[in-house]
Amino acid sequence: MKRAAIKKQKKTAKKTSQVAAKKKAKKTKKKSTKKKSKKKTKAKAKKKAQTKTQARSLVIVESPSKAKTLKKYLGRNFQVVACNGHIKDLPKSKLGVDVKKNFATDIVPISGKAKVIDRIKELSRGVKEIYLAPDPDREGEAIAYHLAEEIGKRKKIYRVLFNAVTKEAVRSAVDAPQELDPNKYYSQQTRRILDRLVGYKISPILWDKVQRGLSAGRVQSVALRIIVEREKEIRAFNPEQWFSIHAKFKKKKILFEGKYYGADPNKKVDLTEEDVVKKILKDIADNPFEVSEIRKRERRQNATPPFTTSKLQQEAANKLGFSSKKTMMLAQKLYEGIPVLGEGPQGLITYMRTDSVRTEPSFISALRDYIQEKYGPNFLPPAPYQYKKKGKGKVQDAHEAIRPTNLALPPQSIKPDLTADEFKLYSLIWNKFISSQMASAILDQTTVIIVNAGHYFRINGSIVKFEGFRAVYSDSKVEKALKRGEHREEGNEKATGLLPSFKEGEMLKPLSPPSSEEHWTSPPPRYNDASIVKDLEEKGIGRPSTYASIISNIVDRGYVEKLENRYHPTELGEVVCQMLIESFPREMEVTFTANMEEKLDLIEEGEVKYTKVLKEFWKKFEVTLEKAKNEMKNLKKQEIPTDFVCTKCHEHKFLIKWGRNGQFLTCANYPDCNGTEDFKRKPDGSLEIVPKQYFWENCPTCAKRLVVKKGRYGRFLTCEDYPNCKTTLSFYLNVKCPSCRKGYFAEKVSRYGRKFYGCNRYPDCDYAMWLLPTQYDCPECRNPVMGRRTTKRLGDHLQCPDCKAVVPIEETPFHETSEASATA
């Protein structure tokens, strides 16, 4: 009985637990079903909402800022995405061009662009139309082609081109889409293949013959040649002495000056002999001058066309001190769109890569209305000016000249929305464009010819009667000429501005006896940012879009350095240039490179097949390449004997060898004697040992002297007892850091290759400044360090890095740079 009761009890408990488990399972299932139902409902609602708001079209541009601007203009039916430049290119690790298979290329996705490509593919699946809107040039066309390849042919794909990122231009381009341009794409691919063949085939030869890591470029190497040849002209230049004779006068409180012209009033004489000058001064001493003739004429100065890319780079360099690279970066931002007036991004200028000077007629009409309203009818010419590009080269007229996109947005009205540099560049473009359709300036030019003892002098004056376009803009070249008082019609004669009235036969007595000045003819100047761009354009090297990258490439490679705003070839640059000229004479010719640019233009126009151009190039280049591999001199193995005795062992002679940082002298008994010296070549070709420059502190390891040496990335310090002591330090100045007051300023180079000065206790102290630090108390904020700077307006001066206070050097007891005081 007892067992039966226990058994029954167990059975009942089991049933109860099973029922409870079933109930629990049912409840859990109900909850799960409810959750799934909720999720499904949410997903359906989300899908429905997406379907309602989903964009019907996809627009792909190059940059995120341009994408924001376009999104604002196109509305919610368009999804706008940025591809961030090129998505495909030739592979980095190999040539990627099969010259035996009709120059077939292996174009692969660029490293790091996989996510961008995947996102574009994903977005393209849910839309009906795709608009490819990269920049309207060859590079933009290549990006568009590669995007189309990745998306595939399943969708309707269009190409849209607009010269300005404005609502009207963008909407018009989308409403009238185009097809991809194969000729423009082939032109870009040809350029890319040529650059790859030259770079990948020549660079390994330089690695083998000079040093590893060097590279050559099809266009950059020719640009280097231009800079190197200018340096050779400067070295070969022999200055010649010449003289000028001046007489200073004053009449009616107006000071003016007469300059010797010659024995004939119509024939200028160059004074090159001191004896002749002394005789003239003796002849005219203590004698008054007679006014022989007064010549007056009205001269008109015409407005100039709006900016092309090269002219913008030149004027930005001359007027604003911007490098070509900086100018193009700022122009890109202004073109793609900047948030202004709280209305979202606005494209402020038209496309900035152009060599056309034309402007759309409709915009010229709007500009003329603006000039009449703003400046009055006198500043408006009777008819619009029609500009044509000068020069032999073909003009790429697909885009307008660079101009503002909206005359309702003058620079001052949007100044708060722009950075200081953006405002400067936008103002430059604005003023240049406004002035391009304004009336001519009118100048009254007066030349007074005076005579003394048969010697004729000239007094020149020029007065602006009507400013015309000069009220808004004056070219830097014209400004410089007017500052010097130069006029093309009158040669290089100084104008003194306002002149008093004169009568023929009137006698003038100088304030002091006439005097002479000694002068020396000057060599051609080294290139600056403006002049190198001008020369590249005139010689037909590169395109407007490539000038900035050409210059930055040869600087980054260490072939050229920028000192005091001028480009100097380095020793490495000169050696590499000479070796390339000797081994690749055709490819290093300026005319050959210019002709190749013309051929690329012909490919773009569909007049020449790209494979034909490549075959013609490769046929001769291949032969030259093999010859260079065998015949190019090997600097690594080159040892040139000299007459200098080793300064360390005093027994053996020095040899000239090539090292990582250029040529140097090394003992012929190396490695038993490791004596080395730096040297320089005199103008006559002879050698001179450069004395070692010792640092103002001793080696922290062995207490011996530290030697200042120059490497690829600037100066550094090494122990004089090397290799016994291998201490190497960054070069630093004898100027204490004002932040931590413990460290000193060290010379450093930014990732963009620009020199700056930072505390040598970094990262404990991260204080840094761009200008050369100088130990001098700022008169305004008492900062103990100021930066040394030289500008055209202020000359040599000190500037506080904090409050920007300026102190002219001549007003301080400081006469030497901190750099000089840093070494002993």
Coil/strand/helix, residue 450: strand
CB-CB contact of 651 with 606 (8 Å): no
Give the pair of three-digit tokens for residue 221: 């190497």
Give, as one character, the DSSP assignment of residue 317.
I
CA 212 to chain centroid: 27
Give, as one character, the DSSP assignment of residue 87.
S
Give the max Cα distance, the chain: 161
- How many DSSP H helices and E strands does the chain contain? 19, 37
Residues 6+ apart with CB under 8 A from 751: none
Question: How many angstroms separate the CA atoms of 297 and 290, rounded?
Answer: 21
Question: How many angstroms separate the CA atoms of 264 and 246, rounded?
Answer: 17
Question: How many angstroms separate the CA atoms of 454 and 262, rounded?
Answer: 9
Query: β-pairing, 57-61 with 78-82?
Result: parallel
CA distances from residue 814 to 774, 784, 817 in whole angstroms, order as listed: 9, 14, 8
Give the pair of three-digit tokens for residue 503: 């009568």
Residue with tokens 């490098």: 323
Question: How many angstroms separate the CA atoms of 648 and 651, rounded?
Answer: 8
Is 351 one of the catalytic residues?
A: yes
Coil/strand/helix, residue 453: coil
Q: Is the dihedral of CA 187, 191, 192, 198 positive or negative?
A: positive
Question: How many angstroms separate the CA atoms of 157 and 177, rounded?
Answer: 9
Give the pair of three-digit tokens for residue 190: 């040809």
Q: Is the dihedral of CA 99, 100, 103, 104 positive or negative?
A: negative
Question: How many angstroms separate the CA atoms of 618 and 622, rounded?
Answer: 6
Q: Which of 351, 375, 527, 767 is catalytic?
A: 351
Query: β-pairing, 566-569 with 515-520?
Result: unpaired
- Geometric angle at alpha carbon 200, from 198 and 202, rounded to 5°: 60
Residues 6+ apart with CB under 8 A from 281: 245, 513, 514, 515, 516
Which residue type sits at 614?
Answer: L
Coil/strand/helix, residue 521: coil
Going by C-alpha positions, the residue among 44, 139, 547, 524 that lies closest to residue 316 is 547
CB-CB contact of 632 with 209 (8 Å): yes
Going by C-alpha positions, the residue among 174, 227, 116, 209 that lies closest to residue 560 is 227
Backbone dihedral angles phi then psi of residue 338, each to the nearest 5 degrees: -130, 135
CB-CB contact of 669 with 695 (8 Å): no
Which residue type sits at 767?
Answer: Y
Question: How many angstroms separate the CA atoms of 368 and 437, rounded?
Answer: 7
Question: How many angstroms separate the CA atoms of 51 and 49, rounded?
Answer: 5
Terminal alpha carbon distance of the chain: 117
Question: How many angstroms separate the CA atoms of 690 and 684, rounded?
Answer: 16
- What DSSP assignment string belongs to 200-238? HHHHHHHHHHT-TT----TTHHHHHHHHHHHHHHHHH--
Question: How many angstroms separate the CA atoms of 558 and 661, rounded?
Answer: 10
CB-CB contact of 738 with 767 (8 Å): yes
Question: How many angstroms separate the CA atoms of 533 and 539, rounded?
Answer: 10
Active site residue ranges: 351
